[in-house]
Chain A
């Protein structure tokens, strides 16, 4: 654990108190699990699947069986073969293996250029940038004001040195659903040997896609984003694609990731995927309704508020990201917390300065707009009463934080 966690939070939580109603809108960072997924996982821990899937006894074979069944469910949802799924423990690990593992397998290649969109998750951007000192070039693909990748710019950046391109299917922060088919077409038309990775963590269960049909080579997914348990994730590696491991140790069922597979969490992940896919239309139409209720309600009741990312069908069903100018985002998260509304802010404090979100800066937001942004994600578990409660409290909370500031709205 880092030194920052040493302080006991107990007193802080006591002073905070429990508000009369609580609405958790921070599933971007993590959140609740479907009861069905929890049950599947618990069954696995206590009855069937608690062993090591690579050991030759009945309990080991049972664990292996759970792994195989889970892979069938997940691969069906992704549109690939179950042999093409590799399990890891987080989306961050999946993105790191995709970028580093592929680059490592091609260190001897003349291709040294890695293109990533400027709004990628930091686990893609930082992984790619770590390769610069080994002679790779990392170039960021610009996006427009809504976050869509500029196809002309992408095309002009591709050359004979390009090794791989990584563009997320759905952006974590601003919910833009990329035209992935169009992007892949541009890449593969120029050179079919360029490998294409997509961080699809926020797309699973919210966007209909088929990996084979899209022509993706690598794709990352994470369990907790589909209301499965934390500690399970997977990377799709298309058949025949060559990657090198980035971790070493005792191998189990997988060549590219050593160590014991988290079988119970993977089982919960598969169950969550199953629930999400079985009720895809119902869940997404509900989330879209709640999302638009939240967006329209906030924009009409709070002055100087701006939606980040596109609207309607080009925005993922659960994402709401709004900037409140003259309202510092972190103070707003604390004020909303005191009112029982749990959200996250787009800025993070570093030792000297507040670092605005790279995504918001990439879509052209000014620093003061980026500092005042909050990210909310609706889930199938929310009700319109929850959203009404949030809509009652946001104008009050923004008003209070703005009233403390020396900058006056107007």
Chain B
């Protein structure tokens, strides 16, 4: 088989894998974004419903095509952003997600990065659509957003290279 390393998950990851919170799509979501792809073997979709005044996150859910750490990261992130403002949600980084999960094996850090990437992409897209970008939203893509793009590109290149070898 392929390269193997021990993946000793924290009990929290296994708990969230077994009983994920906030799983499923929100059909009439105000904010929606994804990161990753089927080819990556890793994809997170985030859905957000805002409160009636549009200021806070009333409901946040996720769907995930990925490993147990990926599912747990997306789940805990939606739990963490519930009731928060979009600015507060934006400021959650992948390290916080990893800490909340009780740590992740280092090769699984990207699961937290991908979850935050999906969330920030969704928020950025939301404000771009409205045309009223708030001052706290940085012009440049953050590390997590770049990571999502890099992962998608890397897999696309690898996939093309493999196809061309056939």
Judge whether A350 and B1 touch: CB under 8 Å.
no
Residues of A within 8 A of B (CB): 2-5, 7-9, 11-12, 14-16, 28-29, 122, 172-173, 326, 328-331, 334-335, 338, 344, 346-358, 361, 364, 366-368, 371, 375, 404-407
Give the contact-size bracket for chain B: 35 or more
Contact partner of B41 (CB less than 8 A), chosen from A14, A16, A173, A328, is: A328
Report the 10 A-B pairs with minimum CB-CB distance, sorted nearest first: A354-B41, A371-B41, A348-B2, A406-B63, A330-B67, A405-B65, A406-B45, A15-B11, A367-B39, A7-B8
Q: Nearest chain-B residue to A338 (Cβ)? A: B18
Judge whether B1 and A173 touch: CB under 8 Å.
yes
Residues of B within 8 A of A (CB): 1-11, 14-15, 17-18, 20, 23, 25, 34, 38-43, 45, 63-68, 70-71, 103, 105-110, 150-151, 154-155, 158-159, 162, 166
Contact partner of A355 (CB less than 8 A), chosen from B2, B7, B14, is: B2
B7, B11, B40, B65 — most chain A CB neighbours (10 Å) = B65
| C-alpha gap A338/B63 in the complex (Å) | 20
Give 21 A-B contacts (CB < 8 Å), ordered by A residue: A3-B106, A8-B8, A11-B10, A328-B42, A328-B67, A328-B70, A329-B41, A331-B70, A334-B14, A348-B2, A349-B7, A349-B67, A350-B3, A351-B109, A358-B2, A367-B162, A404-B20, A404-B23, A404-B64, A406-B25, A407-B43
The answer to whether residues A368 and B1 also contact, given A4-B105, A4-B106, A12-B8 and a CB cut-off of 8 A, is no
The answer to whether residues A348 and B4 also contact, given A328-B65, A330-B68 and a CB cut-off of 8 A, is yes
| C-alpha gap A355/B20 in the complex (Å) | 25
Q: Nearest chain-A residue to B71 (Cβ)? A: A404
| C-alpha gap A368/B67 in the complex (Å) | 13
Residues on B with C-beta less than 8 A from A364 are 166
| C-alpha gap A9/B43 in the complex (Å) | 27
Contact partner of B1 (CB less than 8 A), chosen from A4, A8, A28, A366, is: A28
Residues on B with C-beta less than 8 A from A4 are 5-8, 105-107
B105 to chain A, nearest CB (A): 6
Residues on A with C-beta less than 8 A from B18 are 338
B80 to chain A, nearest CB (A): 19
